[in-house]
């Protein structure tokens, strides 16, 4: 029986947000696309599952780059343009910061956010707003420059702030603002969404993070992130994309430096002009390219020379009381015993006790998401892969429960309520869970660490030199825009654009 066509324009390995974004964009331009996904549903970690009759969000805390209907940001606009109609709900706040000497909920809007910091640390309004406006300027430049190439004089004229700050770390730039520590602390909690300490984190990344989240707030899909993933997949199929679930791609076939297809674990050999891999370069260059001698030394050096970023550990609870009765008052709580991101980054290298926790109570952004009289509450840490790499299979269950217990106990202390007395359902997601369902290399969900040498600017500049195999593109957290569900979409579009550009260039050359 014949399950596949003889040839596709593009095969996409992985039907998560990046892969589906690639597929949508390529199908929109009339290309014949096959998506092969190892799980039996789309989305990767942008998914949900049902426990005890309650549907539970697997991963999404909040989606950036969507924006309100009349003023969409780039990801929201892409969904609109592709006809992916998601029922977005606005998250009511930025975060509640629970930090040494600080208990405050901050809200989106550059002025409002600055005013709320000023209420805690009087006299900082002007400086904080100036900083956020700088972030916003850099953010606009990044968005514009990634779409519209521009001449050198124009760049100097229009994107001075971006150019000036591109080579500096977040710490270096923040230091120039001379802000009191408490104000700096309130400007730091989102760091965990990009996952590098401020000494290492490029200011460009910090700018995008702050301008997007603080400037515009964030969104969640009403029917959890599975709504987003499924609507992308359904729309792609409507546009002619063939999506096959439960297909594990073992090999990417390469000849004379050019990819020409894939082989699945089932044994199907499928041919295409281009392959987009959501699998990490680490996995592709060490075990997927067939034959392996087609992998140049530069490719393995690149992989070995980069630092994997963060994975995730979450304990998700369905509790048998409404949130307010358990003293849970916010959609999102960032809690740390310090806000020194460099110190916290070191703490993430181990197996706990973890010092910086991220909590979500979905009921505040999505009323009715759990049955009446109950609520959903998750505590997440985003550890580096390093510590988890040392966990042996026989110790896994013990370590998993110890870490989960620490997280629940810490938050129980904070709320003054023993959450363990209210657990209807308890789901623990670990780096191993992520590896199991998505195949992500070492369960890593953040791709490579954003550092001064592995910087979006550097990545853009060296992208051509780092295309080691013709016709093979990468889309996922490991690609240029890095981690996060919003950037996943951008990464997928970028891979598709590279292919469209290559096709156009080849046409012109003929």
Partner 1 sequence: MKVKNFLADVRGASRVTAARMMAFDAASPALTDVDPIGNVSREWHPGPIELVVTGINPACKTAKTIRFERTDGKKLPFFYAGQYIVLDFKIGESLISRPYSISSAPYEARADKPFVEITVRRSKGDGFICDYVNDELKVGDILTGTMGLGQFYYEPLRDAKHVVALAGGVGITPFASMAKEVVNGTLDIDLTILYGSASSDDIVMKEELEALDGACDKLHIVHVLSGDEPGWTGEKGFLTAELIKKYSAEDTTYFICGPQVMYTFLRGEVAKLDVPARRVRFEVFGQVKDIAVYEGYPRDLRDETFELTVVRGISEVRIPAKACESIVVALERAGIRIETGCRSGECGFCRTKVISGNYFVCPEGDGRREADKDFNYVHACAAYPLSDMKIKIPIM
Segment 262 to 291, residues that bind partner 1, using CB under 8 A? 266, 268, 282-283, 285-287
Distance, in Å, from the CA atom of 82 to the CA atom of 440, rounded to the nearest integer, reads: 27
Looking up tokens 């000849």 gives: 255
* N-terminal to C-terminal alpha carbon distance within the chain: 37
Q: How far is the CB of 269 from partner 1 (least distance, A)?
A: 14
Give Cβ neighbours of residue 245 (< 8 Å, ≥ 6 apart).
15, 37, 39, 40, 41, 42
Q: Which helix (H) or strand (E) holds 258?
A: strand 258-264
Q: How far is the CB of 313 from partner 1 (least distance, A)?
A: 11
Q: How far is the CB of 333 from partner 1 (least distance, A)?
A: 20
Looking up tokens 């580096």 gives: 384
Distance, in Å, from the CA atom of 267 to the CA atom of 270, rounded to the nearest integer, reads: 9
Site for partner 1 (CB under 8 A): which residue of 460, 500, 502, 503?
460
Footprint of partner 1 on residues 176-235 (CB under 8 A)? 202, 223-224, 226-227, 230-231, 234
Segment interacting with partner 1 (CB under 8 A) among 16-24, 76-84, 122-130, 147-155: 147-155
Site for partner 1 (CB under 8 A): which residue of 112, 130, 436, 506?
436
How is residue 82 written in tokens? Answer: 């592709």
- Does residue 415 belong to the site contacting partner 1 (CB under 8 A)? no
Footprint of partner 1 on residues 44-103 (CB under 8 A)? 48-53, 55
Segment interacting with partner 1 (CB under 8 A) among 12-20, 186-194, 271-279, 300-308: 300-308
Nearer to partner 1 by Cβ, of 112 and 389: the residue is 389
Q: How far is the CB of 9 from partner 1 (least distance, A)?
A: 15
Distance, in Å, from the CA atom of 96 to the CA atom of 356, rounded to the nearest integer, reads: 13
CA distances from 301 to 298, 419, 488 (A): 5, 47, 25
Whether the CB-CB separation of 465 and 301 falls below 8 Å is answered with no
**CA neighbor of 318 nearest in space, from 412, 403, 422:** 422
Q: How far is the CB of 123 from partner 1 (least distance, A)?
A: 31
Q: How far is the CB of 146 from partner 1 (least distance, A)?
A: 8
Q: x/- string (CB under 8 A) for partner 1, residues 233-262?
A: -x-------x-xxxx---------------
Q: How far is the CB of 96 from partner 1 (least distance, A)?
A: 24
Distance, in Å, from the CA atom of 370 to the CA atom of 179, rounded to the nearest integer, reads: 42
- Does residue 398 belong to the site contacting partner 1 (CB under 8 A)? no
- Does residue 360 belong to the site contacting partner 1 (CB under 8 A)? no
- Does residue 408 belong to the site contacting partner 1 (CB under 8 A)? yes
Size of the site for partner 1 (CB under 8 A): 99
Q: How far is the CB of 114 from partner 1 (least distance, A)?
A: 26
Nearer to partner 1 by Cβ, of 199 and 286: the residue is 286
Segment interacting with partner 1 (CB under 8 A) among 68-76, 142-150, 339-347, 354-362: 142-150
Distance, in Å, from the CA atom of 178 to the CA atom of 319, rounded to the nearest integer, reads: 44
**CA neighbor of 60 nearest in space, from 84, 81, 83, 91:** 91
Reported residue count of the chain is 510
Site for partner 1 (CB under 8 A): which residue of 426, 497, 500, 502?
426
Nearer to partner 1 by Cβ, of 8 and 213: the residue is 8
Footprint of partner 1 on residues 1-30 (CB under 8 A)? 1-5
- Does residue 497 belong to the site contacting partner 1 (CB under 8 A)? no
Distance, in Å, from the CA atom of 198 to the CA atom of 129, rounded to the nearest integer, reads: 19
Segment interacting with partner 1 (CB under 8 A) among 102-110, 254-262, 330-338, 404-412: 404-412
- Does residue 363 belong to the site contacting partner 1 (CB under 8 A)? no
Whether the CB-CB separation of 223 and 119 falls below 8 Å is answered with no
How is residue 377 written in tokens? Answer: 């509450």
Nearer to partner 1 by Cβ, of 130 and 246: the residue is 246
Q: How far is the CB of 273 from partner 1 (least distance, A)?
A: 19
How would DSSP label each residue in 337-389?
S---HHHHHHHTTSSS--SEEEEE-GGGTSTTSS-TT-EEEEEEE--BHHHHT
Site for partner 1 (CB under 8 A): which residue of 40, 70, 71, 510?
40
- Does residue 329 belong to the site contacting partner 1 (CB under 8 A)? no
Q: Are strands 375-381 and 313-319 parallel, antiparallel or unpaired?
A: antiparallel
How is residue 268 written in tokens? Answer: 């199907």
How many C-beta neighbours within 10 Å does residue 3 have? 11
Q: How far is the CB of 130 from partner 1 (least distance, A)?
A: 20
Alpha helices in 267-352 (DSSP H): 281-283, 297-304, 341-347
Distance, in Å, from the CA atom of 250 to the CA atom of 112, rounded to the nearest integer, reads: 51
- Does residue 367 belong to the site contacting partner 1 (CB under 8 A)? no
Segment interacting with partner 1 (CB under 8 A) among 96-104, 179-187, 335-343, 456-464: 456-464
Rounded to the nearest 10 degrees, the angle between the axes of helix 74-82 and helix 224-238 is: 40
Segment interacting with partner 1 (CB under 8 A) among 178-186, 193-201, 339-347, 390-398: 390-398
CA distances from 250 to 14, 269, 435, 505 (A): 12, 10, 15, 30
Nearer to partner 1 by Cβ, of 168 and 177: the residue is 168
Distance, in Å, from the CA atom of 92 to the CA atom of 338, rounded to the nearest integer, reads: 25
Segment interacting with partner 1 (CB under 8 A) among 72-80, 105-113, 252-260, 305-313: 305-313
Q: How far is the CB of 198 from partner 1 (least distance, A)?
A: 16
């Amino acid at each position: 029986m014949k399950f596949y066509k003889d040839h596709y324009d593009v095969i996409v390995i992985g039907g998560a947000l990046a892969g589906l974004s690639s597929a949508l964009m390529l199908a929109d331009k009339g290309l014949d696309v096959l998506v092969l996904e190892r799980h039996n549903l789309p989305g990767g970690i942008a998914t949900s599952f049902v426990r005890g009759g309650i549907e539970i969000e697997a991963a999404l805390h909040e989606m950036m780059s969507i924006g309100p209907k009349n003023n969409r940001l780039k990801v929201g606009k892409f969904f609109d343009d592709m006809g992916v109609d998601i029922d977005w709900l606005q998250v009511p706040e930025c975060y509640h910061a629970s930090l040494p000497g600080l208990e405050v909920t901050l809200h989106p809007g550059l002025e409002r956010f600055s005013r709320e910091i000023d209420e805690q640390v009087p006299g900082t309004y002007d400086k904080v707003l100036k900083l956020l406006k700088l972030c916003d300027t850099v953010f606009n430049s990044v968005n514009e420059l990634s779409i519209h190439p521009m001449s050198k004089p124009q760049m100097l004229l229009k994107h001075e702030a971006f150019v000036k700050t591109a080579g500096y770390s977040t710490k270096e730039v923040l230091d120039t603002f001379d802000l009191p520590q408490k104000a700096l602390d309130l400007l730091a909690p989102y760091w965990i969404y990009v996952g590098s300490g401020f000494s290492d984190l490029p200011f460009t990344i910090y700018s995008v993070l702050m301008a997007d989240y603080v400037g515009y707030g964030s969104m969640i899909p009403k029917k959890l992130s599975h709504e987003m993933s499924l609507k992308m997949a359904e729309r792609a199929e409507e546009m002619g994309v063939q999506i096959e679930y439960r297909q594990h791609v073992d090999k990417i076939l390469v000849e004379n430096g050019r990819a020409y297809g894939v082989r699945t674990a089932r044994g199907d050999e499928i041919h295409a002009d281009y392959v987009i891999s959501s699998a990490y370069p680490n996995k592709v260059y060490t075990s997927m390219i067939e034959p392996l001698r087609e992998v140049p030394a530069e490719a393995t050096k690149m992989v070995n020379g980069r630092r994997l970023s963060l994975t995730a550990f979450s304990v998700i609870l369905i509790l048998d009381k409404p949130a307010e009765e358990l003293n849970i008052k916010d959609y999102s709580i960032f809690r740390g015993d310090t806000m020194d991101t460099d110190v916290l980054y070191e703490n993430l290298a181990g197996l706990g006790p973890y010092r910086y926790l991220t909590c979500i109570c979905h009921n505040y952004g999505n009323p009715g998401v759990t049955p009446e009289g109950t609520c959903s509450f998750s505590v997440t840490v985003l550890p580096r892969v390093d510590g988890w790499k040392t966990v042996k299979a026989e110790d896994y269950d013990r370590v998993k429960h110890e870490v989960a217990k620490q997280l629940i106990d810490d938050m129980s202390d904070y709320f003054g309520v023993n959450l363990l007395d209210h657990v209807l359902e308890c789901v623990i997601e670990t780096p191993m869970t992520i590896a199991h369902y998505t195949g992500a290399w070492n369960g890593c969900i953040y791709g490579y660490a954003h550092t001064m040498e592995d910087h979006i600017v550097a990545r853009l500049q060296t992208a051509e030199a780092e295309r080691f195999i013709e016709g093979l593109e990468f889309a996922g957290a490991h690609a240029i825009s890095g981690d996060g569900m919003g950037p996943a979409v951008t990464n997928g579009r970028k891979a598709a654009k590279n292919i469209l550009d290559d096709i156009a260039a080849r046409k012109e050359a003929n």
